[in-house]
Amino acid sequence: MIQRDSRAISVGDTPAGERAARAVRLPEPWASAAITVVMPTYNESDNLPTILGALFALPLPALRVLVVDDNSPDGTGDLAEQLARDEYGPDRLSVLHRPGKQGLGRAYVDGIGHALDQGADYVVQMDADLSHPPEAVPQMLGTLLSTEADVVIGSRYATGGELAENWSLHRKALSAWANFYVRVLLRMRIRDVTAGFKIWRRQTLRSIDVAGITSNGYAFQVEMNYRTVRCGLKIVEVPIRFEERRDGHSKMNLGVQVESALMPFKLRRHLPRLGTGRPPTSNR
Ligand SMILES: Nc1nc2c(ncn2[C@@H]2O[C@H](COP(=O)(O)OP(=O)(O)O)[C@@H](O)[C@H]2O)c(=O)[nH]1
Ligand SMILES: [Mg+2]
């Protein structure tokens, strides 16, 4: 049985132990699942120790983290190496160094491929800036396993989901517009179609051929979803509270927005349109 200690609400400066106490406790063998959090970083040295502390305090003893750093000028990659060496051990924390900033999507393609090669059965996509509440990870894994979903999205827009009050009006409007735009153009019935907080089954990632994804930024998240739906796989959304980042700066820029605006047209051209009423295929 899944037990919940209290409601999973995250606030930026909540201590790791307190966050962990809010997480659901999964029964075995679920709690000991081979789960890897793939975390792209670019200038996140102020946030990294906090997010790692919170993740490793979760009641998921086999959880590993793979930091994918694009040679951050603030030394995030070196800090991650040091934490792997001195604090968590290389079995739990590893670092993939890339030569320079090439965008979120490129970092994920590399990182997810690496995690699968290392034997992860479940892969979590998550930002390093504490926007995504780490204490929601056990619940997302439990939902994936109990609903036989192929991927679970930590959703800001599912019923019960929340956006931090201090997220700027501009970002709220952009996010709402992007979701509406993508859902209409690609006919996807996902509430939070641009979300960056997800847990995937290994087999789902193989089925959608992550290595073949060329899009970056938010478009990467959308293309992952589109490929999943196109394969007839099952997506379930779990409500989360999305926080404004606590430290550092967003890497969202005009290029990312323009790419995201064009991506639905490219996807419609290169990947077949979604059928309606197509029965889901099981591939586990
Ligand atoms: N490796 C890598 N990570 C990135 C890059 N761009 C953004 N990130 C990371 O991706 C996550 C989300 O980026 P963020 O700037 O917070 O985007 P926002 O949430 O849309 O404002 C954070 O952990 C960033 O450090 C990139 O080019 N390379
Ligand atoms: Mg962010």
Encode pLDDT of 106-149 as tens digits: 999 999 999 999 999 999 999 999 999 999 999 999 999 999 99
Instruction: Residue 243: give its domain's CATH number.
Output: 3.90.550.10
Token couple for 153: 């999205």
Average pLDDT score over the chain: 89
pLDDT (mean) for 57-65: 98
Let me know if residue 104 belongs to a domain. yes
Let me know if residue 284 belongs to a domain. no
What is the per-residue pLDDT across 149-176, written as a single tens digit (0 to 9) for each? 999 999 999 999 999 888 888 888 888 8
Let me know if residue 134 belongs to a domain. yes
Q: What pLDDT, on a 0 to 100 scale, did the predictor assign at position 277?
A: 37
Q: Which domain covers residue 133, as residue numbers? A: 16-270
Q: What pLDDT, on a 0 to 100 scale, did the predictor assign at position 11?
A: 52
In what helix (H) or strand (E) does residue 125 lie, and over which residues does it extend? strand 122-125
Let me know if residue 275 belongs to a domain. no
Token couple for 103: 């965008």
For 115, phi and psi rounded to 5 degrees? -60, -40
Alpha helices in the chain, H assignment, sequence order = 16-22, 48-56, 76-83, 104-117, 137-147, 169-186, 202-207, 217-230, 254-270
Q: What residues flank ligand 1, with Cβ below 6 Å?
A: 40-42, 44, 68-70, 101-104, 107, 127-129, 131, 245, 250-252
Q: What pLDDT, on a 0 to 100 scale, did the predictor assign at position 271?
A: 66
* Ligand sitting nearest the alpha carbon of 99: 1
Let me know if residue 5 belongs to a domain. no
The residue whose two tokens read 């690496």 is 114
* Ligand sitting nearest the alpha carbon of 196: 1
User: For 248, left (φ over 0), alpha (ψ -120 to 50), or beta?
Assistant: left
Q: Which of 196, 188, 186, 203 is nearest to 261 (CA)?
A: 186
Let me know if residue 3 belongs to a domain. no
pLDDT (mean) for 190-202: 96
Report how many domains make up the chain: 1
- Give me ligand 2 centre to Cα 278, in Å: 35
Index of the ligand 1 atom closest to the CA of residue 42: 25
- Give me ligand 2 centre to Cα 165, in Å: 15
What is the per-residue pLDDT across 254-267, written as a single tens digit (0 to 9) for each? 777 888 788 888 88
d(CA 70, CA 41): 7
Let me know if residue 277 belongs to a domain. no
* Ligand sitting nearest the alpha carbon of 126: 1
Token couple for 248: 């550092």
Would you say the C-alpha torsion 264, 175, 246, 163 has a positive or negative sign? Answer: negative
- Our mutation pick for probing the ligand 1 site, out of 244, 251, 259, 260, counting the most ligand atoms within 8 A of Cβ, is 251
- Give me ligand 1 centre to Cα 105, in Å: 9
